[in-house]
Amino acid sequence: MGRPSKKEERTEEILLAFQRCVSRFGLEGSTLERIAEEAGLKRSLVRHFVGNRDELVAMLADRVIDQSNAQWDEFLAYMPPQHGCDYLLNGLFNEYHSDSAFILVIESLIFAAGRDPVLQKKMQNWMQHFSATITAILKNDYPQASVQDVAAVSFGLVSLYFNLDSLSPLAMTDIYRMPARQAAEQLVRSLKSAKEATE
């Protein structure tokens, strides 16, 4: 395998700089000037290596989605065959597994998706994959729970997860991490209650 080309190296540097900018300034606030400054390059070189802003956003979305899916797959590879919900909650609400900056980038892309049909489709597919996996874990642990109850709990877990890290600009993530975990546990316990009621 050969060394990456200069274009590949520069593109990666620019995308990393763009990702850092988005986590701090949002997508709209991440101007080409800021990206160039973060990457230590001239603005003209940013355009030369990655093209226009729309192309840059599309590349960032692909990069973030690939990175997220790889991390998620690695996390799932260690999931036990039984009692997966405990493992899931530890992963979603553990401070050591949290990456607030990364979540802020994803949320910026989700927000921008309302104005970009191609980006919207990418982010929809990513979210559906994430949610469907959580739903499958819940269904595996609580096979007697109704489809509607499992879907509701899955949505609740996803919502708690994203909301928690979205508070990082307010420096409140640590305050709400435990309550978010407790809320998630209560949601999962509601499936146990439903299971016991049918037995």
Domain ranges (residues) in the chain: 1-51, 57-198
Question: Which tens digits make up the pLDDT trace of 91-137?
Answer: 999 876 667 788 889 989 999 999 999 999 999 999 999 999 999 99
The CA–CA distances, whole Å, from 176 to 87, 101, 196 equal 20, 17, 30
- End-to-end, the C-alpha distance of the chain in Å comes to 58
Model pTM? 0.82
CATH architecture for segment(s) 1-51: Orthogonal Bundle (1.10)
Q: Cα 138 to chain center, whole Å?
A: 19
d(CA 49, CA 59): 12
Residues of the chain with pLDDT under 70: 1-4, 96-98, 194-199
- Domain 57-198 in CATH 1.10.10: no
